[in-house]
Amino acid sequence: MEGIKDPQSSYLSIKNLWKSFGSFTALKDVSLDIKEGEFVCFLGPSGCGKTTLLRAIAGLDLQTSGAVVQGGKDISNFPASERDYGIVFQSYALFPNLTIEKNIAFGLENTGRSKSEINERVSELLDLIGLPDQGPKYPAQLSGGQQQRIALARAIASGPGLLLLDEPLSALDAKVRVYLRHEIKTLQQKLGVTTIMVTHDQEEALSMADRIVVMNEGKVEQIGTPNEVYCKPETLFVADFIGEMTQFRGTISGKSLVKIGNTELNMVEHRFSQGREVSITIRPEDIIPLGS
Ligand SMILES: Nc1ncnc2c1ncn2[C@@H]1O[C@H](COP(=O)(O)OP(=O)(O)OP(=O)(O)O)[C@@H](O)[C@H]1O
Ligand SMILES: [Mg+2]
């Protein structure tokens, strides 16, 4: 059945991935599946292992154990050069001594394309990112936001199966960041390329991702849509990290009742037994003040 793609099947599978740096364990048994064409964000606090996981997927830093499967092929031990992805880092990482055109063309050389094919592809990409006349300039002559769009064009130039973005917007000022969020998302949808974006900015993840992988201390806390991780957090960490909340300690006093001090509150149905001490979280939008 060649050519027929199952939209539900997994394009990228991470299986029981562990990564140690000496005695420090940066990734602890990470498993996840990403579907073809999906936009997934790795979200978590600084040092939780987001970049380490992305680098393992890219083959830039091999895992200690576990497997990476892309497009049905086990690429766990493939060097970076033999993997099928484009990558954009936080710093623009353009070659300062090459023109914008040459920067974008860089990944296209040695791919068997003729010079005119490369030129054509470069101008198509410049059009696609909305910078059609900037080709002859040098990186230093462009703004940070423009440079990051060039880095994006370079990453997608050869039509990779996977686009990896490591905090691509965090070096930019707030206004450009919001604008580029929209631009990256639109471009990703247009190309249909499976994309992973690392971010520690929850707003960025909530507004851009189809699904969010919430990470903490080298582990996956929860994988879900923005709505799921916000409205149905599975752990206290997720509830606290995403959005605002107030936390109480309480005791289960009924099927959908909890007692906090002397006050009994109604709540969602739960899996805990009567008398069990639990943490209760309340979002600001759940508290509605009304005048008498
Ligand atoms: N090459 C390395 N050698 C030793 N420790 C490392 C190395 N790379 C990463 N680490 C450690 O692994 C942990 C995870 O690092 P990683 O860069 O993946 O975090 P991150 O989630 O991307 O954080 P940030 O949001 O700050 O970029 C950190 O504690 C870091 O110090
Ligand atoms: Mg990082």
Does residue 91 sit in the same domain as residue 168?
Answer: yes
- Asked whether residue 2 carries a pLDDT value surpassing 50, the answer given is no
Looking at residue 233, its pLDDT comes to: 94
CATH code for the domain in which residue 200 is found: 3.40.50.300
156: in domain: yes
Q: What is the pLDDT of residues 167-188, one digit of tens each?
A: 999 888 888 889 899 999 999 9
263: in domain: yes
CA 50 / ligand 2 centre spacing (Å): 6
* pLDDT-derived band at 3, boundaries 50, 70, 90: very low
Mean pLDDT of 143-167: 93
Q: What is the pLDDT of residues 135-152, one digit of tens each?
A: 999 999 999 889 999 999
Q: Which residues of 202-224 are buried (b: 16+ CB within 10 A; e: fewer)?
A: bebbbebbbbbbbbbebbbbbbb
Does residue 63 sit in the same domain as residue 184?
Answer: yes
Does residue 210 sit in the same domain as residue 85?
Answer: yes
Does residue 180 sit in the same domain as residue 280?
Answer: no
3: in domain: no
d(CA 19, CA 145): 33
Contact of 92 with 139, CB cutoff 8 Å: yes
**Most ligand 1 atoms within 8 A of CB, residue of 21, 57, 90, 196 to mutate:** 21
CA 57 / ligand 2 centre spacing (Å): 14
SS3 184: helix
Question: Using CA positions, which residue lies closest to atom 18 of ligand 1?
Answer: 49
Contact of 75 with 85, CB cutoff 8 Å: no
- Alpha helix (H) residue ranges in 25-173: 50-58, 100-105, 115-128, 144-156
Does residue 49 sit in the same domain as residue 140?
Answer: yes
Give the residue carrying structure tokens 């996840």.
32
Cβ(55) – ligand 1 distance below 6 Å: no
Looking at residue 8, its pLDDT comes to: 64
Does residue 84 sit in the same domain as residue 125?
Answer: yes
Looking at residue 160, its pLDDT comes to: 94
Q: What is the pLDDT of residues 214-238, one digit of tens each?
A: 999 999 999 999 999 999 999 999 9
- The residue from 223, 238, 253 where one domain ends is 238
Does residue 169 sit in the same domain as residue 275?
Answer: no
Mean pLDDT of 83-102: 92
Looking at residue 137, its pLDDT comes to: 95
Question: Using CA positions, which residue lies closest to atom 12 of ligand 1?
Answer: 26
Mean pLDDT over each residue of the chain, to the nearest integer = 92
Looking at the whole model, is its pTM more than 0.85? Answer: yes
Q: How many domains does the chain have?
A: 2
Question: Using CA positions, which residue lies closest to atom 2 of ligand 1?
Answer: 21
Mean pLDDT of 23-29: 98
Does residue 180 sit in the same domain as residue 231?
Answer: yes
Looking at residue 279, its pLDDT comes to: 93
Question: Using CA positions, which residue lies closest to atom 29 of ligand 1?
Answer: 47
Cβ(292) – ligand 1 distance below 6 Å: no
Cβ(216) – ligand 1 distance below 6 Å: no
Mean pLDDT of 63-71: 97
Conformational region of residue 130, where left means phi above 0, alpha means psi within -120 to 50, and beta covers everything else: left
Cβ(52) – ligand 1 distance below 6 Å: yes
Does residue 54 sit in the same domain as residue 152?
Answer: yes
Mean pLDDT of 49-56: 97
Looking at residue 93, its pLDDT comes to: 84
250: in domain: yes
Does residue 172 sit in the same domain as residue 252?
Answer: no
- Asked whether residue 102 carries a pLDDT value surpassing 90, the answer given is yes
Higher pLDDT, 111 or 20: 20
Residue 279 pairs in a beta bridge with 249
* pLDDT-derived band at 6, boundaries 50, 70, 90: low
d(CA 27, CA 218): 4
**Strands annotated E in 205-276:** 211-216, 219-224, 246-254, 257-260, 263-266
β-pairing, 39-43 vs 194-199, is: parallel
Does residue 161 sit in the same domain as residue 113?
Answer: yes
- Asked whether residue 244 carries a pLDDT value surpassing 70, the answer given is yes
Minimum-distance ligand to the CA of 57? 1
Q: Which atom of ligand 1 is nearest to the CA of 45?
A: 25
Cβ(49) – ligand 1 distance below 6 Å: yes
- Asked whether residue 4 carries a pLDDT value surpassing 70, the answer given is no
Which residue range forms the structural domain that includes residue 265? Answer: 244-286
Cβ(50) – ligand 1 distance below 6 Å: yes
